[in-house]
Amino acid sequence: MPTYKAPLRDMRFLLNEVLDYPAHYAKLSNGGEATPDIVAAILEGAATLCQEVLAPLNLSGDQEGCHFSNGDVTTPAGFKEAYQQFVAGGWQGLSFPVEYGGQGLPTSLSIFKSEMMGAANWSFNMYPGLSLGCINTILQYGTEAQKGQYLPALVSGEWTGTMCLTEPQCGTDLAQVKTQAEPQPDGSYKITGAKMFVSAGEHDLVSNIVHIVLARLPGAPAGTRGISLFIVPKFLVNHEGSVGPRNAVRCGSIEHKMGIHASATAVLNFDGAVGSLISDPNKGLEAMFTFMNTARLGTAIQGIAHAEASFQGALSYARERRSMRALSGKKEPHSTADALIWHADVRRMLLTQKAIAEGGRAMIYAAAQTADLLFNAVLENDPATREQYDHRLGFYTPILKGFLTEMGLEAANLGMQVFGGHGYIHEHGMEQIARDARIATLYEGTTGIQALDLLGRKVLIGTKGKCVRDFTRIMIRFAIPYWFARGPLGAMARSTMKRAIEWNVLTLRIMLRAAKDRDLVGAGSVDFLMYSGYVMMGYFWALQAAKANALLLSGKGTESAEFYRAKVQTAEFYFDRLLPRADAHRKGALAPTRSLMQMDNGNFAFP
């Protein structure tokens, strides 16, 4: 049976040595309790939960799946007991305000916990994971009465939350939302319509589920300007937070999916269900983006979680499985064949997985610092600061979600490849990782949607390239001191500087061309996103290599010398073997649209 070991050493390297989280936490109004000892204890506790409770349920949960009967969903064996342990440990409330029963710690700690949970058992992670966006939305936009009604039970994990956007006739295009909200004399609303693809929309883990629902008020403007947001609980909630009668929302079915079988993806039918308005009328989409950004960052975590899980499985197999002799000569003369790990192509696959998992982890942990600052501004009711960090996180989000999920899927497929035919067999767990990883590039907006968000909304329209200039300044400041350094570090620094300049030039060229050819934005956006992802990951690998190299030279890291050397070596691999992919994406982003748009629609296929 596949196993999972939390990568605590790598996590500590990023937190304490590369990104200086202790100093970061000291600056936060809610960071005082996040001392190094407390953080270490939290990471160890989460690792124990993931390794001993969640990971053993991953394979069996996939085999059994969820059961649907007459509107009710039963989760696989062991999930309910595991969720009770999760709640008893206070894990859901880790980063939420003390006044609602949380522990009041920074948001990033919840992200670190989610990464481990996701790698151990992504299906399980989705049940409490969707609640995070629900809680954040109510925290930021709810009335004091709504916060009092819903947050204590959501923060404790006694209840879970969902996001209800998609309808049968529309997915990403929310302008087509048809669900109606009729005002009632008592100030409530009757919600009528159908929602689909609702993750954790129905299950047996908790006593109540709180749905965040997009719907239209009577006479609302057409399109996205006429969408409002509502809280619709499965069971009605009294003002003091106690549970009342069943609401008129029912699960019509659950989807039969390629992967994440143990996570219930529901069709929900709202038949005059009682709801309450959250945020201002017709401003629901703006509030929903609070939920979406939380969900997208969570989905980016799925990319590195699956890369890490697949890497661990592949590495273990490559060390044990013997096949043929290495091309450079016998490595294990006392065995009939050499272990797979001696073969150069297998090492290429393993190092690609390692580079994706550890490079992506650095990207997310850096973004998590911005998430801390953003949430801190919300707590302090500082709109100007909140807007500043919201824009910064908004630039990170589509790159992290789009790029890391694509790379996580690649890593999952490479894990199967290392196993060969055995990777296709269910009992080894590798094909499950690949199936589970596939959805990450699709939900919360496909890679194409993330790319349009990045290039169209964030770069071209929103900031006219400023967001790229701001990030590349960080890259340049890092590279300058190492410009004349000898060896791998100097080469990485010079490459980082070159890519920073190139990224800005690419952005400018697209801006100029798009003014004449609007199709260029759609045609080149995915290539631009992938280029951005490779360059950003390159910076974070150079950053890790610089810190590891400094610790090696200082002699302070003698006990971890092998770990630090591996960091530098993996960074070298990334710059030699993976970063060059950015060149193809740069050319693709600038390719003319003529060859893409010239064919008549009817000529795509012939009967």
Residues marked active site are found at: 444
Closest by CA position to 232, among listed 333, 164, 325, 172? 164
d(CA 243, CA 424): 46
| Helix/strand/coil for 245 | strand
Spatial distance between the Cα atoms of 148 and 155, rounded to a whole number of angstroms:
11
Q: From CA 405, how far away is CA 399, in angstroms rounded?
A: 10
Beta strands 209-215 and 160-164 are parallel
Query: Mapping DSSP to helix (H, G, I), strand (E, B) and coil, where does residue 354 land?
Result: helix
Instruction: Tell me the residue length of the chain.
Output: 607
Give the residue from 124, 114, 115, 62 showing the smallest Cα distance to 429.
62
Which contiguous run of DSSP H or E holds residue 72?
Answer: strand 72-74
Task: Give 221: exposed, middle or buried? Use CB within 10 Å, 0-12, 13-18, 19+.
Answer: exposed
The C-alpha atoms of residue 566 and residue 359 are separated, in whole angstroms, by 13
How far is residue 123's CA from residue 261's CA, in Å, rounded to a whole number? Answer: 7
Instruction: Provide the pairing of β-strand 265-278 with 249-254.
Output: antiparallel
Task: Specify the amino acid at residue 133.
Answer: G
Report which DSSP code applies to 75.
Answer: P
How many Å apart are CA 168 and CA 551, to the nearest integer? 55
- Taking CA atoms, 26 is separated from 13, 95, 293, in Å, by 18, 16, 25
Helices then strands, counting H and E runs in the chain, come out as: 19, 11
- Sign of the Cα torsion 416, 418, 424, 425 reads negative
- In terms of Cα–Cα distance, which of 274, 179, 167, 172 is closest to 231? 274
Rounded CA-CA distance 376/385 in Å is: 9
Q: For 54, which DSSP code?
A: I
Q: Is 6 helix (H, G, I), strand (E, B) or coil?
A: coil
DSSP annotation of 498:
H
Judged by phi (left if over 0) then psi (alpha if -120 to 50, else beta), residue 208 lies in beta
Nearest to 200 by CA among 157, 236, 169, 147: 157
Cα distance from N-terminal residue to C-terminal residue, the chain: 48
The continuous run of DSSP H or E covering 36 comes out as helix 36-49
The secondary element (H helix, E strand) that includes residue 274 is: strand 265-278
Q: In the structure encoding, which two tokens stand for residue 243, read together?
A: 């549970």
